[in-house]
Amino acid sequence: MRRAIGVLAAEHIVVGLVEGHRVLGPLVRYPERGRGADVFRSMPAESIGQCLREQIQKVGAGQNVEVIGVGFPGIIRSGVIEESPNLQQVKGLNLVASLASALRHDDQSVPVCVFNDADVTAAGVAATRGQLDRLIRVWTLGNGVGFGRYPWAAGAWEGGHIVVTLDPREHFCGCGGKGHLEGIMGHRAMRLRFLDMEPEEIFENAKAGDARCDAFVKLWHRALAAATATSIHFEGPGDFFITGPNARFVDIGMLHRYVHEMVKMSPLQGSRFETIPVSDEIGIIGAAVNAERAVFGSG
């Protein structure tokens, strides 16, 4: 079995050694637990590359690692971060180049592959459930809304920015676009819409019968149903996993009902939703799996 390093670099950095879809040994985190999250936000791009190299070396030194996979938020093409809306300073950063000589194996640099962080979550779900032969889609609900897909496929896949309403007053998306899924579902967008209450309170008040909150909670679920219906109309039905900090607000039954209203053709019926807890391990395993498949093929 091959040994790989999986890296998840979203709000913090977590690195693990992966073999046979399992993490070996303890994960290395930066910063360590309890210290300020969102460590990247104030870090210049070159320091982000350097910091990642150091964590990779801590885990990988002397371990016969054959490939390194990294999950990072944003649009990533050929190892370059083309856009990362919440980390403007990394736009244009060639992460593969800055990590290229992090580790050596058989006197060669160990190859590095970089993927969108939601895509590595999808790959991790597929690998840990023995479903590497299936199409797996993942929604990640946090400040941003991410869409991940396994198997990995070239493309932008900015599912969080699917247009789910034509109402020009819907302008809360972090990217500035109107009518976007993230502009309704994103944590930041909810705080901008409800200046007088936190997202937790919106969902609590809806349960308690507050009409304005109840209408919003329905809109929130309809938006996710609409974006999912779009994905189903493009790629067919299947399993959709929902994760991230705000997956706790999801009412699976309500989501199913709305998707059922929006997808009517019989060959496209039968999708399933499941919420899964946020897990560094799933992302790390997925980053390793995607990198192995990219470098050595799927066999």
Q: Which residues bind Zn ion (CB under 5 A)?
A: 161, 173, 175, 177, 180
Closest listed residue to residue 59, CA positions, set 26, 20, 13, 35: 26
Token pair for 32: 């360590």
186 SS3 class: coil
Other Cβ atoms within 10 Å of 297 Cβ, number: 7
For the bound state, the minimum distance from the C-beta of residue 114 to Zn ion, rounded and expressed in Å, comes to 22
Of residues 49 and 174, the one with the C-beta less far from Zn ion:
174
Order of strands, edge to edge, in the sheet holding 239-243?
Answer: 145-150, 136-141, 239-243, 272-275
Of residues 171 and 256, the one with the C-beta less far from Zn ion:
171
For residues 137 and 151, give the distance between their C-alpha atoms in angstroms, rounded to a whole number.
9
CB 59 within 8 A of CB 5: yes
For the bound state, the minimum distance from the C-beta of residue 118 to Zn ion, rounded and expressed in Å, comes to 15
For the bound state, the minimum distance from the C-beta of residue 153 to Zn ion, rounded and expressed in Å, comes to 21
For the bound state, the minimum distance from the C-beta of residue 172 to Zn ion, rounded and expressed in Å, comes to 9
For the bound state, the minimum distance from the C-beta of residue 254 to Zn ion, rounded and expressed in Å, comes to 23
Of residues 66 and 182, the one with the C-beta less far from Zn ion:
182
Query: Three-state secondary structure along 91-125?
Result: CCCEHHHHHCCCCEECCEECCEEEEEHHHHHHHHH
The region, left, alpha or beta by phi > 0 then psi within -120 to 50, assigned to residue 107 is: left
Query: If you ran DSSP here, which 8-state letter would residue 220 be given?
Result: H
Residue 100 burial by Cβ neighbours in a 10 Å radius (0-12, 13-18, 19+)? middle
Of residues 111 and 199, the one with the C-beta less far from Zn ion:
199
For the bound state, the minimum distance from the C-beta of residue 184 to Zn ion, rounded and expressed in Å, comes to 10
Of residues 16 and 159, the one with the C-beta less far from Zn ion:
159
For the bound state, the minimum distance from the C-beta of residue 145 to Zn ion, rounded and expressed in Å, comes to 9
Closest listed residue to residue 160, CA positions, set 136, 137, 186, 178: 186
